[in-house]
Amino acid sequence: MCLAIPAKVLNVKGSTATVDFGDGTQRGVNVSLVDASVDEYVIVHAGFAIEVLDKEEAEKTLALWREILRQESAE
């Protein structure tokens, strides 16, 4: 199974961006496949941003991930 997660772009330096996955978790990802700017959201898979995502859709998806993780930790 493949997993891709939305993240907010915090900064871009060349082909690398620092992104936030919505809970303060920040990572460097390769953005050479997309034209991403600061404050945009991207879909990240295997360390690569593979698509720029609409802010509203990204926030909905991140909220859904938080809910799933809350349910998992409650079990």
Question: Which structural domain range is residue 42 located in?
Answer: 5-74
Contact call for residues 58 and 66 (beta carbons, < 8 A): no
Strand-pair category, 41-45 with 48-53:
antiparallel
75 pLDDT more than 80: no
pLDDT digits (tens, 9 = 90+) for 3-60: 889 999 999 999 999 999 887 899 999 999 999 999 999 999 999 999 999 999 998 9
Amino acid at 71: Q
Enter the DSSP assignment of 49.
E
What pTM was estimated for this model as a whole? Answer: 0.85
Number of domains, the chain: 1
Of 41, 48, 53, 34, the closest CA to residue 8 belongs to 41
**The domain spanning residue 35 has which CATH number?**
2.30.30.140
pLDDT at residue 23 in the model: 78
